[in-house]
Amino acid sequence: MPAPRFADQLNAQIGNELAAHNQYLAVAVHYDALTMPRMAAFFYAQAVEERSHAMMMIQYLLDTDADVVIPGVDAPVAVFDDVVSPVRLALDQEKRVTEQINGLLKTAREESDFASEQFMQWFIKEQVEEVATMSDLLAVVERNHDDVEDIEEYVAREGAAGADDPTAPRAAGA
C-alpha cells in the first residue's frame, strides 16, 4: 500500500489530470470552431492522453489497495481571443503539471515509498516530452499567428501522436 500522504496527493493529481483533460477539450473545441482541424485533432488527442494519465493513477491506487477518490474539477477556460492564447495556456498547464508530478515523486522519496517512486518515473519522462511539445508548438503558433495554414501544416507534419508506449503504466478500464 502506498504511503498515505502519497495516496492523498495522487488522488488530488487525478483531479488535476481530469482538469487538464477538460482544458484540452475546450482548446480543441476552440480550434474546431475556427475550422483548424489539425489543431483540433491534436488537442482532442491531448485530452484523451490526460484522461489516460488519470486512469493510470486510478489503476495504481486500485492495484495497491489504496482508496480512490475522484475529485471534482473547475470548469476550463473556454473562450480565447486568438489562436496563440490556447497554446500558451497549454504550455503553462504542462509546466504546472510537471511541478505537481515532481512533488509526487518527492513525497514518495520522503516517505520511502519505493513502489510509488518507481510508478512516478514514467510520468517524469512524459512531462519532459509534454513541455517540449507545447514549447515547440507555441513557438510555431506565435510565429505564424496570422497564417493558420502554416500552423495546420506544422501540426500535420510534427504533431501526430506517437505509438503507444509499452513502458506506460496500465490504465484502469483498459
Distance CA 20, CA 134 (A): 14
* pLDDT tens, residue by residue, 132-160: 999 999 999 999 999 999 999 999 998 65
Phi, psi of 168, deg, nearest 5: -65, 145
Predicted confidence at residue 173, as pLDDT, reads 81
Predicted confidence at residue 165, as pLDDT, reads 82
Give the domain 4-158 fold.
Ferritin (1.20.1260)
Q: CB–CB of 58/2 below 8 Å? A: no
- How many helices and strands in the chain, by DSSP H and E? 5, 0
Predicted confidence at residue 162, as pLDDT, reads 56
Predicted confidence at residue 163, as pLDDT, reads 60
Q: What percent of the chain has pLDDT over 70?
A: 97
pTM above 0.75, yes or no: yes
* pLDDT tens, residue by residue, 155-170: 999 865 556 788 889 8
How far the first Cα of the chain sits from its last, in Å, is 22
Distance CA 99, CA 96 (A): 5
Q: Cell digits for 144?
A: 505564424
Distance CA 137, CA 50 (A): 18
State the DSSP string of 47-72: HHHHHHHHHHHHHHHHHTT-------
Q: Cell digits for 174?
A: 483498459
For the beta carbon of residue 15, count every other beta carbon within 10 angstroms.
16
Domain map of the chain by residue range?
4-158
Please name the amino acid found at residue 133.
T
Residue ranges, the chain, pLDDT below 70:
159-163
Residue showing cell 502506498:
2
